[in-house]
Amino acid sequence: MARRLEGRNGSIYRAYILGTTQEELAELHGISQERVSQIVREVVASIPEEDLAERRKRSLDVLDVVGREMAAIMDAPAAQAYSNGRPMVNDDGSPILDYGSRMAAADRLVKITERQAKLLGLDAATKVDVAVSEQAKEAAAQAAADAIARLAGPTSE
User: Domain map of the chain by residue range?
Assistant: 1-47, 48-123
pTM of the model: 0.52
3-state secondary structure of 79: strand
What gap in Å lies between CA 100 and CA 136, rounded to an integer?
A: 52
Say how far residue 7 (Cα) sits from the centre of its chain: 32
Helix (H) / strand (E) containing 83: strand 82-83
Q: What is the pLDDT along the chain (157 residues), one digit of tens a residue?
A: 466 678 889 999 999 988 999 999 999 999 999 999 999 999 988 888 888 889 889 999 999 999 999 999 999 999 999 999 999 999 999 999 999 999 999 999 999 999 988 888 887 777 777 777 888 888 888 988 888 888 887 765 5
Whether 29 contacts 8, CB under 8 Å: yes
Residues β-bridged to residue 79? 98
User: Measuring CA to CA, which residue among 110, 43, 104, 47 is closest to residue 79?
Assistant: 104
Whether 22 contacts 49, CB under 8 Å: no
User: Measuring CA to CA, which residue among 113, 78, 84 is closest to residue 98?
Assistant: 78
